[in-house]
Chain A
Amino acid sequence: MTPLAGNYALEVINLKKAFGGLSVTQDVSLVIKPGERRLIIGPNGAGKTTLFNQITGDMRPNSGTIKLFGVDVTKLKPYKRAHLGLSRTYQIITLFNHDSLEHNVALGLLGLRPARWQMWLPLSHYNDLATAARRTLDAVGLLHLAQCPVSDIAYGEKRRVELAMALAQKPRVLLLDEPLAGLSNTERSQVKSLITSIPRETTVIMIEHDMDTALDLAESVTLLNYGRIIVDGDRDSVIADERTREVYLGA
């Protein structure tokens, strides 16, 4: 292995996954540099979320290798990958409905601390967690709702809580699964500027259908179709590529 091997934030090598006879990931290989903003596009059913689920460990690939900063994580459980600096948001909102926004974000912070095994003192005892949670909520513009239960807030706000939970962990690699889905125009530009403001220490990989907004955020683009990488490269060349038009931009 060359010393350069550790220079990628994420490496996916010959990844294959099939559900019965249906191949959802067909020999996918891609490398992402630290700090890169990568957009993953493709029609519905192209295998984008399945690829994410394999990167996070929610799903085991049939074969292939996944490396995070040079470390082979292919067989690691999802929580261990989180401790290596991997974080994600979900396409379908996955929050703790009965708990306050602050509790949701603080829980995310607790996940990376040894205090999560603490059986004596309550979560609210950790003021630093609450402070950090409130700071992140402020960054996404939801501080005024910090004490509201998630079930009481609007859909667009929930999307931002999803983002806040991931951002609070200060991940090294952040996977965003359709962060703009179902948002109004105003909310969309809010979330867009939020994603723009993510520090460069964090590598961002994003699945998004809203091309107008997403292309502004990306430096490089990967186009998936039927579980296969069709085009992969910097933004302009992928947009210009004929195959992109054919598969995705279509009309």
Chain B
Amino acid sequence: MKWIAASAIAALLLVLPYLAGDFYINLASQILIAAVFALSLNLLVGYGGMTSLGHASYLGVAAYVSALMASRYGIGHGTAAIISIAGTTTMAAFFGLIALRASGLGFLMITLALSQVLWGLAYRMSGVTNGDNGIAGLTRPTPFGISLESAASFYWFALIVASFAFLMMATFVSSAFGSSLKGVRDQSRRMAALGFNPWMIRWITFIYAGFWGGVSGLLYVYYNKYIHPSSLSTTSSAEALLGVIAGGSGTLGGPVVGAALVLLLKNYASAYIERWNMLLGLVFLLIVLVMPTCIVPGFSKLATALRKGSR
């Protein structure tokens, strides 16, 4: 059952660029980018029990660093990508030291505060970041000399990166370390008594989540060829968090489904109503009311129940 679903999704992803028009291919690319971002946030929220409201920091900083290096210093995409990911990961290590002094609400507030500092910098330090105008006129990289200008070619690029990210994060959470992480989420005191170092486990996860947040930021800036302070905003963090929770935190499929849901709503609903955020809120409310465990865990429960019923 699981394999059938997985192969169906894989087949759909592979044939999509041949069947759909550019609009839909671009939409799919955006979903892939949002999915990587949501998956990285889910490492914290779902597997680590660390609810962060500042994850956009990693997406935004990676995007800004790459954009600045390319537009201001003319550094090539390859070098820029390495520096921007290394920088974002280092920033995550540093932010983790601060945020992990607290847990629960305290942790949430610190991540929020740190991301607000970065958002403020992007807005106000206009000499560097161009402030509210954002940085425009960026280019996409040309890996192995292949142009990513067309919708389809960028889609393939995003699909490869996203699949790799998915595999890497899936391996991480299913590993022995992942078991420790889930243990620390559920019973931190017990884990310490068993010989695990809960702080170190959380910190390593925080850094890893920052790394993949940075990767999604690179994809984001490559796709849009433009970056604006709003990508660092709390709204951006909160949208991803909403997606993770609606899809089902602590599952691998949940964040992907959630990210797709938020993006589709944004794209379709905003064409008809101005206050699409309101609709997003309503949909979220409906999900929580109808399926308290949220989409992916809810459907898998439903599937198990149906299978038992049919026997």
Contact = CB atoms under 8 A, between A and B. Distances in A.
Nearest to A109: B194
Contact of A94 (B174, B176, B179, B190): B190
B195 interface: yes
B192 A122 contact: no
Nearest to B186: A96
Contact of B194 (A58, A77, A98, A108): A108
A90 interface: yes
Interface residues of B, number: 23
Interface string A93-110: 011111000010001101
Given A96-B187, A119-B172, A120-B171, A79 B192 contact: yes
Interface in B157-214: 171-172, 174-180, 182-183, 186-187, 189-198
Nearest to B172: A119
B176 A96 contact: no
Contacts of B186: 96-98
Interface residues of A, number: 35
B189 A112 contact: no
A240 interface: no
Contacts of A119: 171-172, 175-178
A121 interface: yes
B196 A111 contact: yes
A88 B193 contact: yes
Contacts of A126: 176
A122 B193 CA distance: 22
A97 B187 CA distance: 10
A122 B178 CA distance: 8
A79 B196 contact: yes
A111 B198 CA distance: 11
Contacts of A87: 193-194
Given A94-B189, A95-B187, A96-B186, A122 B179 contact: yes
A90 B189 CA distance: 10
A52 to B, nearest CB: 10
A124 to B, nearest CB: 9
A204 interface: no
Contacts of A98: 186
Given A111-B196, A116-B176, A126-B176, 5 more contacts: A78-B189, A116-B177, A116-B196, A119-B178, A120-B175
21 contacts: A58-B192, A79-B191, A79-B192, A79-B193, A82-B192, A82-B193, A82-B195, A88-B193, A94-B187, A96-B187, A110-B176, A110-B180, A110-B194, A112-B194, A118-B177, A119-B171, A121-B176, A123-B176, A123-B179, A126-B176, A169-B194
